[in-house]
Each structure stands twice: as C-alpha cells, then as structure tokens.
Amino acid sequence: MLSLLVTPVVYSLFDDMSNSRIFSKIGGLFKRRGLKEALAGLLGLFLFAMVGFSAENPARVGVGTSQKRMMLKDAIVLALENNLDLQIEKTNTVLSRSQYRQTFGVWDPVLGYRPNMSYNVTPTSSPLQAADGRLVDRNFSNNATFSQKTPWQGTRLDATFNNGRLSTSNPFSGLNPFTLSTLNISLTQPLLRGRKIDNDRNQIRLRRKQIDISEADYELRVIQVVTLVTQAYWDLVAARQDIEVKKLSVDLARDQYERSKRQIDAGTLAPVELSAALAELERRQDTYYSSIGLLTEVENNLKNLLAGGRDQTIWNDEVIPVETQSVAPPALDDLKALIQSAVGKRPELRNLKLRLESNEYQKDLARNLQLPGVNLAAGYTMAGLAGARNTARNPFFGGSVGDGVPAAFVGGYGTTLSSLFGQNYTSWQAGLQIDWTVRNRAAAETLAQANLADRNLNLQRAKAEQIIEAEVRNSMQSLRTSEQRIVAAEASVKAAKEKLDSEQRLFETGESTNFLVLTRQNEYADSQRRSLVARLDFNKAIARLEQALGATLDTHSISLK
C-alpha cells in the first residue's frame, strides 16, 4: 500500500516549485490522508524516479555505435563470400578435382636406371676356364627400364635396355673385354578380365563422378545457407519490430499510469488503482528488456552466417535490415506440377542419381573381376656384341684365342649399338597367360555388395522424393495459412485499437476502470504481436517453399558456374 500514492505526492509537490507551496502541500497531504499515506507518497516519488530511469534503452553486449544497413540480397552476397560452411564445401570441391587429376598418374610412364658393378671370383676345376682354378669376372652394367600402362583395353608396354661390359680371366673368351647390349620390348594385352575395365580405369570414372557429386553437395549447401540467411534476416526484422511493439506497450502503460495519477490527485480514482498501473508498467518493462536480449541473439545468429571469422568487423556493428517484407510467393495453382518440378531440381536427388551411376561402375568392375584372366603376352628382343680380340695364345690350335672372332664383333660400344639397332640378332616370343580362380568368392561378394548398395540408394531416392513431396505440401500450406493469418491479425489490430481508444475515453469520463484499460492495451499489443508473427511466418514460409521447390538459386539470381 505504501507505493499507491506515487502520483498524488509527486504531482502535488511539483506543480508549484516554490518551497512554501511544496511544504504547504506536504502539510495538507499529511492532514488529509494521515502520516502513513504521506510517507507512502514520498516513497512513490522515489519509485517514479526509478520508473523514469528504467525506461532508458539498455546497451547491448558487443554492439558498437556503427550501423550496417543491409538488404536481404546484401546479406546473401556476404554469406556467399564469407560463410565458413560454404568455404569448407568449396574446398571439398577443389579437393575432388585434385583427386580426379591424381588418378591419371597411373598412365604416367615409369623410367628406371640400374647402374651396377660386380667383381666375381668363381672356383673352377676346369683348366679350360682358369689354369689356377680361379675364374675372375669384372662386370659393369648400365640398365634402363621403361613401363607404360595405357588407357586402351588394359594394354601394358614394357621395355628393358641392358648394357654390360665384362672382362674375364677365362683364357678361351674370344673377346676380352667385351660389351653386350640387349633391348627387349614386351606387350601384355588382357583378353577377358581387365580388358573392358580394370581398377585403375574404374577409379578414374569414380573420381570424375565424385566431382559432380561434390558440386551437387556444394549447391545443396549454398541453398541451405541462403535459406538460413533469409530466415535469420526476417528473424532480425521481426525482432526489431517486436521491440517497437513492446516499446509502444510500455508507453501506453506509462500514459495510463500518469492518467491514473492525475485522477487520483483529482479524487476521482481510488489510490489502490495506481499499484495495478505501476505493476503492469514494470511487467511490460521486463518484457521489453527481454526482447532486447532476444534481438542480440537473433542478430548474432545472422552475423554467424555472414562472417568469415570472429575477427571481422561486422561483429561490432548494429545490423539494420532495410527490407520489411519478402517478395511475392510463386503461383501455387498446380500442386502436382510444382512437386514434379521440385523432383527435377532438388540437388539431393541429383546427388543420389550420381551415386547410383557410380555404383553402376562398381557393379561393372565386379562382373569383370569374375572373368578368368587370359592375357596375350608378346615380346621382341634385339642384341648386339662387340669387344677387343683376346690376344692370349691358343694352346690347342696355335695363334691367339681371338683370331677366330668375326670381324663384325671387333670394336667398341658404338659397334655394339650398331649391331643392336641393325637388328642383326633378334628373337621374339608370344604366348598366353591364363589364370582361373576357382569359385572366385571375393568377386562374387563384391558384386553382391554392389547390388545391395544399388538397392539401398534406390530406397534412399524413394525416401527423398517422398520427403520432398511432404516439404512442398507443408510449405505451400504454411504459406497460405500465413496469408490468412495476416488478414485476420490486421483486422484484429484494427478492432483492438478501436476498443482501446473507446475504453480510454470511457476511463477519462469515469465510466471505465483502470483494469479494463490495461486489459484493452494488452489485447492491442497481443494483436500487434500476432500480426508480427504472421508476417514473419509468411516471409520464412516463402524461403522454405523456394528451398522445397529447388528454386532458391533462381529466385535470388545466384549462379554457381
């Protein structure tokens, strides 16, 4: 009861600022209402000062004085440039392209070089090899290899170029030292397993398809982020409008509080009515402060979608949305046509289609692995030989050991190569390499797993299409419901305002009560809130419908090419 006399004391004291009149009024108050009521009036002075102080707008945490005015398209552009989820997804796309290029490394030729030196001492019991029983060979070799897998029918090409210089203690070697060079070219051609497809070529197909999958994932992520940004933008619009509604509600309560004080001072209203007005004012103040806290959370949610890191300046800006209403919704005449269009556009279904195509590659490989391995192997060899005649004496025929060596073999390494590439000494071979794995359970199970994966992906596609149908239906219903709610809420706002104005006029003439005026104010504020929520739901329903129809990128003119 002490706080009921705030207005009589404050207004009676300060209508006239002269000290004599102030004390005269205080004395009259004491005389008319007694000591307790007068003390209550003084306490009311303090409470009124506190009410006036609490009406100041509180500062928001982390929000500076700089403002960033933003349209919806500006927010979307900022998100496309900075959003961390999009940056991660974009990196995955670049990684997929790099992995695709990496698979072509199987066609890179492989060159080898094998220089080698050897010193061999071999015991021998034949005096024709070594008179002292020690056959000494010194060899220096320079060998090179070349290997090339080709993308055509699994063909593989190999070549070896061997060069050796040998000196020996064998007294019957016609050339000492001598060089021997051979060039061998071989070709392996699969005829069954590995001809149509093998693991290397299959990996290239899979990695190429993975690029398309990662691009579909990126498009899906862009749509999700744009939808989230759109909804967060409208949340911020609604949060700021909600503060205006709450502030208006506080102002109405303050007006009623002051109106009640004047009537109490005039003796036309019971002092007890002031406590109800004050309590309602403070309740609305509390709601107003809560809405400011919610505004900060909603704004931070939008900033989190737009910022590329916690060090960006947008975190310290007050974001002010410029737009207050979304674009007109798409035509909703033909439900089946819209659902069919959504099925054709949604990146989730394109992703599943690409994964089904990738699984077909796996099934193709698994069927090929069940075939027996039959390879055609062919080779062609050229050889060349040259060296210095061995001048050691021939113990059997007289003369030197090297006398019988043909003149074509006498010379250096150039003579060896001339003999080699002149194809004076050639050989060839051809044959089949057949491998058959009995039962081949590994390949059979690989094919069975690929068939199970195919069934699983088809089930996922059917489920995704069903989800899309439900999303389109729900978003269309939500949009229509929001439109109807907006009409109803606006009519409610208009009616509630008329009722409030009427109730206030009645209160002024003493025909209504403080309780009824405050009730009408609450009804008016509730109607405004419902209108605000209906418009928010309408704007967000459009964003959800765009996402459900797969039309988000087209609506906002976003190109990912």
pLDDT of residue 174: 84
Q: Does the pLDDT at position 438 exceed 60?
A: yes
pLDDT of residue 56: 53
- Assess if CATH 1.20.1050.10 describes domain 67-95+202-322+331-359+449-555: no
The count of other CB atoms within 10 Å of the CB of residue 97 is 15
Instruction: Give the mean pLDDT of 430-445.
Output: 91
% of the chain residues with pLDDT over 90: 66
In this structure, of 25-29, 210-214, 243-247, 510-514, the range with the lowest mean pLDDT score is: 25-29
Structure letter (DSSP) for residue 447:
H
- Token pair, residue 31, equals 């005389």
User: Considering the chain, what is the average pLDDT of its residues?
Assistant: 86
- Between 388 and 42, the more confident residue is 388
Q: Spell out where 309-467 has E strands.
A: 318-321, 373-389, 425-435
Q: Is 416 helix (H, G, I), strand (E, B) or coil?
A: helix
Instruction: Answer for the pair 419, 408: CB distance below 8 angstroms, yes or no.
Output: yes
pLDDT of residue 397: 67
In tens, the pLDDT along 368-423 reads 999 999 999 999 999 999 999 888 777 666 677 777 888 888 999 999 999 999 99
Q: Does the pLDDT at position 501 exceed 50?
A: yes
Instruction: Answer for the pair 333, 427: CB distance below 8 angstroms, yes or no.
Output: no
Instruction: Answer for the pair 550, 341: CB distance below 8 angstroms, yes or no.
Output: yes
Q: Does the pLDDT at position 343 exceed 90?
A: yes
Identify whether 177 is preceded by a cis peptide bond (ω within 30 of 0): yes
Q: How far apart are CA 407 and CA 409, in angstroms?
A: 5
Instruction: Answer for the pair 160, 145: CB distance below 8 angstroms, yes or no.
Output: yes
In tens, the pLDDT along 509-534 reads 888 888 999 999 999 999 999 999 99
Instruction: Give the mean pLDDT of 424-434.
Output: 94
pLDDT of residue 266: 84
Do strands 318-321 and 175-190 pair parallel, antiparallel, or not at all (unpaired)?
Answer: unpaired
In tens, the pLDDT along 348-377 reads 999 999 999 999 999 999 999 999 999 999
Q: Per-residue confidence at 37, pLDDT binned at 50, 70, 90?
A: very low
In tens, the pLDDT along 80-116 reads 999 999 999 999 999 999 999 999 999 999 999 999 9
Burial of 239 (0-12, 13-18, 19+ CB in 10 A): buried
pLDDT of residue 71: 93
Q: How much is the pTM?
A: 0.79
Residues written for the chain: 561
Q: Does the pLDDT at position 327 exceed 80?
A: no
Cβ-based neighbours of 213, under 8 Å, separated by 6 or more: 96, 351, 354, 355, 358
What is Dmax (Cα atoms) for the chain? 162
pLDDT of residue 364: 94
Q: Per-residue confidence at 226, pLDDT binned at 50, 70, 90?
A: very high
pLDDT of residue 21: 40
The count of other CB atoms within 10 Å of the CB of residue 9 is 25
Q: How far apart are CA 344 and CA 357, in angstroms?
A: 17
Alpha-carbon separation of residue 263 from 39, 48, 250, 346, 459 (angstroms):
20, 16, 20, 66, 74
Phi and psi at residue 198, in whole multiples of 5°? -140, 180
Give one DSSP letter per residue of 98-135, joined into a string.
HHHHHHGGGGS-EEEEEEEEEEEEEE-S-TTT-TTSEE
- Between 59 and 439, the more confident residue is 439
Q: Per-residue confidence at 57, pLDDT binned at 50, 70, 90?
A: low
In this structure, of 158-172, 318-332, 381-395, the range with the lowest mean pLDDT score is: 318-332
Report the phi/psi class of residue 139: left, alpha or beta, with left for phi > 0 and alpha for psi in -120 to 50: beta
Which sequence spans correspond to the domains of the chain?
A: 2-48, 67-95+202-322+331-359+449-555, 108-201+373-440
Instruction: Answer for the pair 392, 400: CB distance below 8 angstroms, yes or no.
Output: yes
In tens, the pLDDT along 178-202 reads 999 999 999 999 999 999 999 999 9
**Angle, vertex CA 322, rays to CA 320 and CA 327, nearest 5:** 135
What distance lies between CA 453 and its chain's CA centroid? 25
Q: Per-residue confidence at 35, pLDDT binned at 50, 70, 90?
A: very low
In tens, the pLDDT along 231-254 reads 999 999 999 999 999 999 999 999
